[in-house]
Amino acid sequence: MLRIENLHSGYGRIEALHDVSLDVSAGEVVALLGANGAGKTTLLRAISGVQPVTSGQIRFEDRRIERMPAHRRVLLGIAQVPEGRQLFAPLSVEDNLKLGAWTRRASDLTADIAGIFAMFPILSEMRHTAAGALSGGQQQMLAIGRALMSKPKLVLLDEPSMGLAPILVDQIFNIVAQLKRSGQTILLVEQNARAALAIADRGYVIETGRITVGGDAATLLADPRVQSGYLGV
């Protein structure tokens, strides 16, 4: 579904991604592991089109998209839950969800919004609250809900568990597992490598802008480099 080949990207003259290649097939959950500043967010930004690519290819369903504007990529079916949630803070929970469905031009979103509320009942109680006034966990739920509202083929999740209390982390990973069971294709960026690999089918490790290891989740869990670097073994 997604195939990245020899991708280079950076900020100004500083290159942040060197020759990155990676695939995600339909129905898969793929984990992307890496330390702070490794380039995980930069890669997701490049896939979504909010980060310029200097060379290399991004293919989505056999279409080259690396030069396509961001809004058209959403239309093709790529949604991102960005780092730091990036909600529309002054707008209500419900409006954030409606805007998540912007590309669908659907006239009636009641059923879709009800679907998100079924997944995150707490959001239903807060439907008229400004997104900026939610707690960290609620904001993360809303960010996920907003991305799902576009009915994406591929969801890019950037550290959804970051900064959350352990009980909420479990809840977020449960949701990711639930999405996986429903057949949703996901590229999951996480620092919490153990939890991510427990859900993922496959994974990659990125270090200072390069993919260094890639393989089945079970293989990665057993790999000494992954164990010492990311699993604290």
Partner 1 sequence: MAELLQFAFSGLTVGAVYALVALGFTLIYNASDVINFAQGEFVMLGGLVTVFLLAAGLPLPVAALLAVVASTLVGLALYRFAIEPARGANAVTLIMITIGASIFLRGAAQVIFDKRYHSLPPLFGDTPIRFGGAAILPQSLVVLAGALVIVVLLWAFVDRTLFGKAVLATAANKLAARLVGIDTRLTVGFSFAISAAIGAIAGILVTPITLTSYNIGTLLALKGFAAAMLGGIGSAVGAVLGGLLLGLLEALSAGYLSSEFKDAVAFIVILAVLFVRPQGLLGRARVERV
Binding residues vs ligand ATP (CB under 6 A): 11, 14, 16, 34, 36-42, 83, 191
User: Are 29 and 188 spatial neighbours (Cβ–Cβ below 8 Å)?
Assistant: yes
180 binds, among ligand ATP, Mg ion, partner 1, none (CB under 5 to 8 A by kind): none
Whole-number Å distance between alpha carbons of 153 and 158: 16
Q: Which residues contact 78 (CB under 8 A, 6 or more apart)?
A: 47, 48, 60, 152, 153, 154, 156
Nearer Cβ to ligand ATP (38/131): 38
Of 65, 34, 25, which is closest to residue 210 (Cα–Cα)?
Answer: 34
Min separation Cβ 140 and ligand ATP, Å:
15
Residue 9 binds Mg ion, judged by CB under 5 A: no
* Angle made by CA atoms 176, 19, 61, in degrees to the nearest 5: 50
User: Are 130 and 91 spatial neighbours (Cβ–Cβ below 8 Å)?
Assistant: yes
Min separation Cβ 207 and ligand ATP, Å:
10
Nearer Cβ to ligand ATP (12/166): 12
Q: Which pair of tokens denotes residue 26?
A: 């339909």
> Which parts of this chain interact with partner 1 (CB under 8 A)?
48-50, 69-75, 79-80, 82, 84, 86-91, 95, 98-100, 102-103, 146-147, 150
34 binds, among Mg ion, partner 1, ligand ATP, none (CB under 5 to 8 A by kind): ligand ATP
Min separation Cβ 20 and Mg ion, Å:
15
Nearer Cβ to partner 1 (130/231): 130
* Angle made by CA atoms 227, 228, 229, in degrees to the nearest 5: 95
Whole-number Å distance between alpha carbons of 67 and 73: 10
87 binds, among partner 1, Mg ion, ligand ATP, none (CB under 5 to 8 A by kind): partner 1
Nearer Cβ to ligand ATP (49/113): 49
Nearer Cβ to partner 1 (144/205): 144
64 binds, among ligand ATP, Mg ion, partner 1, none (CB under 5 to 8 A by kind): none
36 binds, among ligand ATP, Mg ion, partner 1, none (CB under 5 to 8 A by kind): ligand ATP
193 binds, among Mg ion, partner 1, ligand ATP, none (CB under 5 to 8 A by kind): none
Whole-number Å distance between alpha carbons of 169 and 165: 6
2-24 CB burial, b ≥16 within 10 A, e <16: bebeebbbbeeeeebbbebebeb
Whole-number Å distance between alpha carbons of 123 and 139: 9
